[in-house]
Amino acid sequence: MKKSVFFLFLSFLGFSLYSQNHNEIISGLLTRISEKQPADHIFIHTDRNLYNTGDTIRFQAFIRDRQTGVIETPSISLFVLLLNSDHVTIDSARFRISYSTASGWLKIPEITALGNYSILAYTSDQMNYSPEFAFRTPIRIDKIGSVHSGTDSSLVQSQSASDLRFLPEGGTYVYGIRQRLAFNAVTSAGKSVKASGDIVNQDGKKITDFKSGPFGPGVVEFTPVQGETYYAKPVEAEFGNISWPLPDPEKSGVSLRVNNTRSGSVDIAVAETEPGQKVLPDSYNEQNFNILKRY
């Protein structure tokens, strides 16, 4: 009996030491990760992606904790810069963060070269880390008015430059999972326009079609296959008969999906693929989504 109690005590002690050691390893790993990565993770929502010279870029910023995903931050300042393609600062400003969010604006000078630009943003906490953790988003600046002189009079002709942008549901786009992408087309003045056409891969093979909804924005849904890239080819003349790239899918990750049920409730479902996981047919995708929460 004493031997049994003794062995039981040793087993319990060994399990306790193992658990403690295991927790210490995890804690040390998380500490090392947090030392190399800032806690702040920024997302900025701009009023549009296409601007005219002299316009004001308006935006709303949200800051969450990188490890927990909770919208919270100890930082009190947000720094935002407008950069040209040579990374030269065109405009910059600092804004106060309140309740993990901040609203602000940047001014595009009247005399600005047309082309591609980007918005760079970081918090006071991120100033101590690598620039790769700063938020970046591309925008374009175009001149929509041009004057053509004739022999007897001047003709002012308005050129409609449009922008088409695709955004995956849940914020991530992962190979092997059937997902929805919302899309919206706007002019440089921010006016919504209709867009319709085909989604094709890099070989020009049609994957599916897309069409704006009655109020402008629309949704397209398909399964990205690993090794392929995708483009939208709208048929409307204002898009200049060019192909618009869709977001590059990730090889692995987590995807969120919101479904309206017939009972009036809303399901928030989650799907995940692991690195190296084989991409399966479309029938697999619906099974792969598990209900995370129901409202």
Distance from the first to the final alpha carbon of the chain: 55
Q: Which domains does the chain have, with CATH numbers?
A: 35-143 (2.60.40.1930), 253-294 (no CATH)
pTM (whole model) above 0.85: no
Q: Mapped to the 3 state alphabet, what secondary structure does 75-119 carry?
A: CCEEEEEEECCCCCEEEEEEEECECCEEEEEEECCCCCCCEEEEE
Task: Identify the pLDDT of residue 150.
Answer: 38
Give me 194's structure tokens: 């209709």
Rounded to 5 degrees, what are φ and ψ at 256? -105, 150
Task: Identify the pLDDT of residue 280.
Answer: 42
Give me 294's structure tokens: 């129901």
Per-residue pLDDT of the chain (295 residues; tens, 9 = 90+): 555 555 555 565 555 555 555 555 555 544 544 557 888 989 888 888 788 888 999 999 999 888 887 888 999 999 999 999 899 999 999 999 998 999 999 999 988 898 899 999 999 888 888 888 899 988 888 865 433 333 333 323 334 467 888 888 877 788 888 889 999 888 766 778 889 999 999 989 999 999 998 878 899 999 999 889 999 999 988 887 788 888 888 887 777 777 776 666 766 777 777 655 544 434 334 445 555 444 4
- Cα 197 to Cα 207: distance, rounded to the nearest angstrom: 11
Task: Identify the pLDDT of residue 66.
Answer: 83
Task: Identify the pLDDT of residue 18.
Answer: 52
- Cα 286 to Cα 212: distance, rounded to the nearest angstrom: 25
Tell whether the torsion through CA atoms of 191, 192, 196 and 200 is positive or negative: positive
Are 66 and 30 spatial neighbours (Cβ–Cβ below 8 Å)?
no
Task: Identify the pLDDT of residue 38.
Answer: 87
